[in-house]
Structure 1
Amino acid sequence: MVFGQGSQQFDQTRALGGDSTPDLLGGQRRLGGHSPRSSFEWVFDYGRNSSGVEVPVNVTENTRRDGLISIGALSRRTGVSVRTIRFYCDEGILEPRRGAGGHRLFDPATAIEQVLLVRRLRALGVGLPAIAEILTGTLSITEAIAAERAALDTELGALAWRRASLAAAEDAPPAQRAARLALLAAVHDRRGAHDTLVAFWRGLLTPMSPEMFDGFVSMNIPDPPTDPTPRRVVAYAELVTATADPALASAMSRQLWRPDPAAIRDKRELLTRIADACAVVDPLVVARVAPRPGAELDRFLAAHAAARRERDTPRFRRRLLNGANDTDPRIHRYWKLTTEITGTTTSGAAQHWLYQALTRSIAPAP
């Protein structure tokens, strides 16, 4: 019975590529009549191949006549563990050759540099899929590093936003903390919050051409701040939540189209001309020039008159002024928050400048 088990173990060892027979007393008897070795030497002197089968180190680590080296030799030359190199092979990062016994073999002319490159890129946090593309030549090292840096920037941005949000919640007075938490929850997803603002304006500016709308978005709809402070995060949250109020949308629409919007024959054309008028006014707003009648106001009123097939007359001006809602506090609050976030002038500021200029243009002379 014992002898049969030993023979079976011998057959299995030979089938798996072993080159020696195990001794039932714990020793080791080499094929070819060499002297036996202790069980400690036998266990210590074994490596492990890709399938988990034990193979002698002196078989796998010697440099072959064809110049190929074993996984152990590659490990010694690169300082990377055998286990890690085996993992790279299993993941398809390295492509070893196979010897007659199924052992991994490597060309030192290329494998050493590849392993060192993988180790250095991994130290920088570059992922294995990107490294695989680098080794196959489909991705450059510069491209991989740039992509990794961009991903890291995104992660850092999210962490900065979260930190500012936590500080904003912490800074709130105890009586207001619950409301502050609800407000901040509305912008926990920064990209989703921005999409909410875009959707709000897309509904108001439906007649606008896609190109012009993109320009409006870039100038008037702020992205989440890249350097968020608690104050700016709260301002952004207030801006986003304000768009959920139907009264704000109604007020913005009324300010945009002015009285009798049904009489406007071409809303896209009107939006284009209003945008041109606001662009002319922007430098005056930046320079803090007081609102005044003049060419800038005439340009704005001519756009509204032409859209209604009317002329810019004193009566027309009074009608536009009487129907104006530019003093609506919701409108002012919205654009104030936008300016606080962006630090730049907005279309809202230009519209308000034109409203004040219109008021002065028909006011009785002193």
Structure 2
Amino acid sequence: MITSRDGLCGIGELAERAGVTVKTVRFYSDRGLLPEASRSDGGHRRYGPGALDRLRLIRSLRALGLSVPEVRRVLDEEDETREAGGEGAPGGGALEAAVAGRLRELGSELRALRWREAALRLVQECPPGERAGRLRLIGAVPAPPSTAPLVRFWRGWLPPRMPARAAGAFLDVAVPQPPDDPAPDQVLAFARLNALTLAPCPGTAQPQPEAHRTAGAQGSAVLYAGLAEAYELAGAHLRRGRDPQPGEALDGFVAAYTSAYGVRDTPDFRRRLAGQLAADPRIDRYWELVAEVLTPPGRRPEPTPGSAHDWLLAALVAQTGAPPVPMT
């Protein structure tokens, strides 16, 4: 309660009532957040009756982590509402936008902290002789981790001039998102995956399967869309622990190739496809690491496009009697 006759108070009294320092009041005044009502004959700042509530609001907004410019926008909006005859209580678009932005920032910060915690546990729990190698792996991954190297890896694998929409849909499936709250083993798997995709490729380019390269850019879009559906069906079998077998998943797998090539599904085509796919380059290590990234410790590994492809190819080989799939 202000006790002066003119209803104004000095900077010291305002600071004491708000529970802040004089330096803090001066800081907000100098930045235009807390207007002065007047100055005394000696040049001291004087504040009106509304200054205390305004200062408390500023302090609350700052305690939530809002920046000074964001606080200014909230206060300006409050002033405009009051001048227009409204209640002038904070709660408009400026406050909502500031709070939403701060929540996004906190989410990123929390993910980074959880990632660092798991990485520290990984180093703490590993044998001393392995620490140097793990530190190198972890040090190459930012916190929170980025999937950019994995995306670049697949950009080199996918057919040139593949439609952007089809390529994006495939990348959504092929590039795992790091878990928000990872276990140490998941951090290690993602760091190894990151290192794998950054390693120099043999030859001059990423080895692309012949069965995919011959489809062409437009055919590849059809091919990958069909494969995505077949992989999803095969994934259901993998989750149930079923052995590779003929059925809807395998038929959809073959149909993806016949649609891309514009040919009929015949026993001869299936035999040739099985042989070609068995001879194509494989990146089993990539998919093994993806499964480790996505699967918390103690859980059954989640199916990946790689494990689904292997299941379907094994079913195709068994059906056609093609040469066995080479181990990599």
Tell me by how many angstroms 1:285 deviates: 2.6
Code of the aligned partner of 1:94: L
Once residues 360 and 340 of structure 1 are traced to their aligned partners in structure 2, the CA distance between those partners, rounded to angstroms, is 28
Q: Which one of 153, 156, 160 corresponds to residue 110 of structure 2?
A: 156
Q: Does 1:200 align with 2:158?
A: no
* SS class of match (2:198): coil
Q: What corresponds to 1:322 in structure 2? A: 275
Distance in 1 (CA, whole Å) between partners of 2:223 and 2:163 is 12
CA displacement, residues 295-348 of structure 1 (integer Å, 9 cap, x when unaligned): 3322222332343343322222222222224897x6222212111211332222
- Greater CA drift, 219-228 or 74-83: 74-83
**In the TM superposition, what is the alpha-carbon distance from 1:230 to its structure 2 partner?**
1.7
What SS does the corresponding residue of 1:105 show, helix, strand or coil? Answer: strand
In the alignment, the residues of structure 1 paired with residue 316 and residue 260 of structure 2 have an alpha-carbon distance, to the nearest angstrom, of: 18
- Between structure 1 and structure 2, the one with the greater Rg is 1
Length-normalised TM-score, structure 1: 0.70
Query: 1-side partners of 2:222 and 2:280: how far apart?
Result: 26
Tell me the distance in 2 between the aligned counterparts of 1:268 and 1:94. Answer: 60
CA deviation after TM superposition for structure 1 residue 189, in Å: 4.6
Counterpart-to-counterpart distance in 2, 1:263 and 1:159: 45
Query: After alignment, is 223-232 or 94-103 more displaced?
Result: 94-103
Are the structure 2 counterparts of residues 321 and 130 from structure 1 closer, same or farther at C-alpha, using a change threshold of 3 Å?
same
1:46-67 deviation per Cα after TM superposition (whole angstroms, max 9, x unaligned): xxxxxxxxxxxxxxx98464x4
Alpha-carbon deviation of 1:89?
Answer: 0.8
Per the alignment, residue 347 of structure 1 pairs with 305
Say which of 291, 295, 299 aligns to 2:252: 299
Higher relative contact order (CA 8 A, sep 6+): 2
> Which amino acid in structure 2 is aligned with residue 285 of structure 1?
L
Match of 2:101 among 131, 136, 147: 147
User: Within 5 Å, which residues of 2 pair with 1:4-153?
Assistant: 63=4, 65=6, 67-99=7-39, 101=41, 102-108=43-49, 110-137=50-77, 140-153=94-107
Q: What 5-or-longer segments of structure 2 have no aligned partner?
A: 78-91, 296-301, 323-328
Q: Distance in 2 between matches of 1:69 and 1:247?
A: 76
Paired residues in the alignment total 296
Counterpart position of 2:220: 267
| Residue 229 of structure 2 corresponds to residue 276 of structure 1 | yes
Q: Which residue of structure 1 lines up, in the alignment, with residue 175 of structure 2?
A: 221
Match of 1:356 among 304, 314, 318: 314
| Aligned-CA RMSD value | 3.1
Could you tell me whether the CA contact under 8 Å between 2:222 and 2:259 is conserved in 1?
A: no
Determine if the alignment matches structure 1 residue 233 to structure 2 residue 187.
yes
Pair 1:326–1:141, CA change in 2 (3 A): farther
Q: Deviations over 1:198-242 (max 9, x none)?
A: 121223235544334443333332222211222111100111111
AA matched with 1:313:
T
Q: 1:62 touches 1:70 (CA, 8 Å); kept in 2?
A: no
Shift of residue 196 of structure 1? 0.8
How far, CA to CA, are the matches of 2:255 and 2:22 in structure 1? 79
Tell which deviates more after alignment, 319-328 or 84-93. 319-328
Q: 1:91 to 1:202 in 2, by over 3 A?
A: same
Task: Give, in angstroms, the shift of residue 107 of structure 1.
Answer: 2.2
Distance, in Å, in 2 between the alignment partners of 1:220 and 1:172 is 29
| Match in the other structure for 2:137 | 183
Q: Give the C-alpha shift of residue 140 in structure 1.
A: 4.6
Identity over aligned pairs, percent: 36
> CA, structure 1 residues 183+325, in 2 after alignment: closer, same or farther (shift >3 Å)?
farther
Structure 1 residues not aligned, in runs of 5+: 1-60
CA distance in 1, matches of 2:287, 2:68: 47
Select the residue among 268, 281, 285 that pairs with 1:333.
Answer: 285
Task: Work out the CA distance in 2 between the residues paired with 1:326 and 1:353.
Answer: 16
Alpha-carbon distance, 1:250 to partner: 4.3
